[in-house]
Structure 1
């Protein structure tokens, strides 16, 4: 890092080490026009300035808050003033508060398990599974959902209550098993049995989502999370549920989507001829 008067200049390697990013990532940000080195040395080497570093901070903060790069580009191209920076910092603080609340909730669950072990005896298996589910998430949603979206989902879960969620999850797993059997038996997605199960699948999803199901941006983020992590989620479910094999959940989800599409097509056809 070179200092000229009070102005600092970073080489790409120095900025990579200081920011925790790779040189390759910084080059990529430059190639797509998000963060570029504003200056070059007489020998042609890139040098990042203070405004470049502030822009990089804004980019990384917004990305961690779940914004896609195209939306981040729009935000970065607005004025880099104190008001814009304050908004980002407030959002980051809210994100940290949400994470802290999640850690505190998990700590309380583990403390309750410890008290049961020290007191009346071993907790039930359901208690351990609840803690495992919270401790080892299949996907880190922070990269996809904003703090506000995550809080909305958490708030709805509180309103439903643990008992209701457990019942709905159990029924959903039952649907997975039934649909997997039909799929393996070669039953077409348009079969009334598949369509009925797909309809109940949708009803359970609606119950678990509540009013958050009306949030178009949240729906888009959740779809992207499934698309990007389908293999991880599928394998994670297979690891957690004894009767599931790798590939089952992904195949069943596609089966349900086909049944829905056929149902929508039939409804349009009836409407066109009604």
Structure 2
């Protein structure tokens, strides 16, 4: 049976308001053929149908998984199996992280009990908690090893240059925020492209490491995760820019 929502359609402004995207972003998706409205009004205005909205949701969901827009269209057109595989992979990573966090919580709780009962925890308790803290990291041990190797390859000077460049880009993003620019604005997208290129250099092009890095910004808070290089406001704005960016 068809529901009420299956009978309706949305103008671009209505869909923008409902999703939190901008009209410009929806126009961009239309222009690159990613989400094209199935209908038009008599005056030529875009009308989005329920299938269009469902496709838009899939686009944004895959973007949150770190899939570039240039690859999302192919994934969606490839069928349900490709989308399901991407979602299942992300779900598996979330489940693994939750297991590590639950273990860390149990050990931290044990430390508090030891403190209350004996005055201070044992060395074994401290060591096991330190191990759990490392395991609860957003990065796997293999990813951490590859990051260290990348750091060694760049050297301290190279790493310092990366950090300085990141701070410069964060300042650029701040200027976009203060100017009230739409995240789909070409100037913003140019900054997003430069940001993506820097991340590619820093991670050696490893998408798994990049995904873990961005997850840490969300989980720990951008300022804590980047030691003050990126503010929470800048990171939230950049996520919006990435969501509509074609080149990153």
- Indicate the TM-score class for this superposition, using the shorter chain for normalisation: 0.3 to 0.5
Q: TM-score, normalised by structure 2?
A: 0.47
- Bigger Cα Rg: 1
Q: Which has the higher contact order (CA 8 A, sep 6+)?
A: 2
Q: TM-score, normalised by structure 1?
A: 0.43
